[in-house]
Structure 1
Amino acid sequence: MSITMLRATPESLGELVEAMSQWPRTGGPVQVHVGDLGWKWRFGGPALAEAVRVWTRDGRVVAVGLDDDGLVRLGIAPEADDDIELAARMLADLEGVEVVEARAGAAFRALLARRGWVADEPWAPLVRDLAEPVADCGLRIEVGGAHNVRDRVEVQRAAFDNSTFSEERWHAMAAAPAYQRARCLIGYDDTGAAVAAVTVWSAGEGRPGLLEPMGVHRDHRGRGHGRAITVAAAAALREMGSSSATVCTPAGNVGGVATYASAGYTRQPDVTDLRRPIGG
């Protein structure tokens, strides 16, 4: 059996989405999710494909790497978790990469440890089980679409400094295969102002879903809107059949962690990116 690594192509991305949708497991690590690809799709299929590495074994996708702002975020198929041959090939193919996000893949993580890779930035995964109904969040929630995309964009740009989100980029994302199991939610306060937004991504019935991203308009912070839109995200994912709602934020983001916790998300043990040793 042979393992190969290729860059994705725009034409292969739909097939890749379907393969990755089978990987999330309830109780498993919060590794790179189909929603992470979906959110990056806002820059277009060609740009996304250029950022994605795909490892296959005899034509079957067994691992994915997403180049993301200076690190490679990795996803490994559950059946390949202990695959020593795959681990060795992945490490060889990542020559020149200084930092990886590798939250799954026991064989790969063990290999990095033996090679002296060290802990880098810590992240806090949070999970909300969706077995039980989710209470009303307290905001009026609309599903994002062509009729209110301006509100979705306005909240995003007001929530994140230096955001380049636009209506054009929302439409590019919404037209992509990954978004067929996703929703943008926009929260409105009693005055009718758009105050918060989130995009939720399902991996299919009975699998963990993902929040990516969530933000509150800078002019409406401190009023509980972050908690409310995060509760709404859980309700939407439950309606879409997800087993749980997952999110991962920097461990140092004290306010963000508190917001998710207040919305019923349970913090899991922190995880760290891994950095290549100097001269390694």
Structure 2
Amino acid sequence: MTVSVRLDTPDDPAAVLDALRDWQRDGDPVQLHPGDIGWYHRFGAAETAAALRTWSRGGTILAVGFLDGPGLVRLATDPAARRDEELTARIADDFADPDRGVLAAGEADVEAPADSLLRDLLPARGWTLGEAWTPLHRDLAEPVEDPGVTVETVGPDTAEAYAAIVRASFQGSTFSAERWRELAAGPAYADARSLLAVEDGAPVAAITVWTAGPGKPGLIEPLGVDPAHRGKGLGKAVTIAAAAALRDLGASGVDVVTPSDLPGAVPTYKAAGFTPGPERRDLHRPAG
């Protein structure tokens, strides 16, 4: 059977999330997680659907591409199909031809699992190594220690406090309480929690965690600390609280991927009990 591509979600959007949940495995290279789609849902259901691409064979989804911006595709594949030559060739051809509606012409980046055949095929077509990322993992088999900070679950009444910390934490962010309500209304948020760390009655750090179902690794996306309260260990504390929340939700572990050159990020996660894995590089297509 030939591989087909569709340029939006299937009629039942749950099919994409179900595939991504199924593909999350402890010990496998980190790849696109249902939580990544859930976080993007802050822009609304229509824009989230428009950012998705699926590759299927015989009606079964084998790969999902997520356009996280006009020039970046984040790719996840069924682990059993990650070295599938027909599938990989089709994906690479779709990336190369703008008329196929998957990736626009010009400079672009692809994030692919570390053991994907695509990582062999694209360099042979002139792609180079791009931005470096560090994946980190914490196992949740054992109870999580006390984070040493008061943590509240975010709801409509505290959405603006959460949004304010996110805006302050990421340059250029326009995140708002309305966008939190959008993501909380999305199908992936049924397996998620947004948390606020509170100190002396004031919110000081924010984090959201996403599960892929019981016995599957969860994801942190995003983590932010109020700039006025940095340097006090609050990033570590709220990350430990997030790990505890994921364990309560049935997650087997927790993953996070951070830019390798982001100051303080890797040390913060290591302090919260995470172990870094091998650095991963995006695949970059030069302009022209």
What band does the TM-score fall into relative to the shorter chain?
over 0.9
- Quick check: 1:133 aligned with 2:134? no
Partners of 1:141 and 1:22 in 2: how far apart?
30
- Quick check: 1:261 aligned with 2:262? no
- Quick check: 1:83 aligned with 2:93? no
Partners of 1:31 and 1:9 in 2: how far apart?
19
Partners of 1:116 and 1:277 in 2: how far apart?
8
Structure 1 stretch displaced more, 115-124 or 177-186:
115-124
Aligned length in residues: 278
Question: Is contact 2:29–2:115 with CA below 8 Å preserved after alignment?
Answer: no
Partners of 2:9 and 2:53 in 1: how far apart?
10
Deviation of 1:110 after TM superposition, in Å, equals: 2.1
Note the aligned Cα RMSD (angstroms): 1.5
Deviation of 1:241 after TM superposition, in Å, equals: 1.1
Partners of 2:287 and 2:156 in 1: how far apart?
49
Question: Is contact 2:20–2:32 with CA below 8 Å preserved after alignment?
Answer: no
TM-score, normalised to structure 1, is 0.95
Deviation of 1:116 after TM superposition, in Å, equals: 3.6
TM-score, normalised to structure 2, is 0.92
Partners of 1:106 and 1:16 in 2: how far apart?
19
Partners of 2:27 and 2:20 in 1: how far apart?
17
Paired position in structure 2 for 1:34: 34
Question: Is contact 2:83–2:116 with CA below 8 Å preserved after alignment?
Answer: yes
Q: Secondary structure at the match of 1:241?
A: coil
Partners of 2:51 and 2:287 in 1: how far apart?
25
Paired position in structure 1 for 2:68: 68
Partners of 1:124 and 1:105 in 2: how far apart?
15
Q: Structure 1: 5+ residue runs without aligned partners? A: none
1:238 to 233, 237, 247: 247
Deviation of 1:150 after TM superposition, in Å, equals: 2.0
Deviation of 1:178 after TM superposition, in Å, equals: 0.5
Paired position in structure 2 for 1:169: 179
Write the letter of the residue equivalent to 1:128: R
* Equivalent residues in 2 for 1:79-228, closer than 5 Å: 79-95=80-96, 96=98, 97=103, 98-104=108-114, 106-189=116-199, 191-228=200-237
Deviations 1:57-93 (A, max 9, x none): 1111111111113211101111211211000000111
CA pair 54-10 structure 1, distance change in 2 beyond 3 A? closer
Deviations 1:132-189 (A, max 9, x none): 1110101111111123212211211222222111111111111111101000011001
Q: Which runs of 4+ in 1 moved over 4 A?
A: none
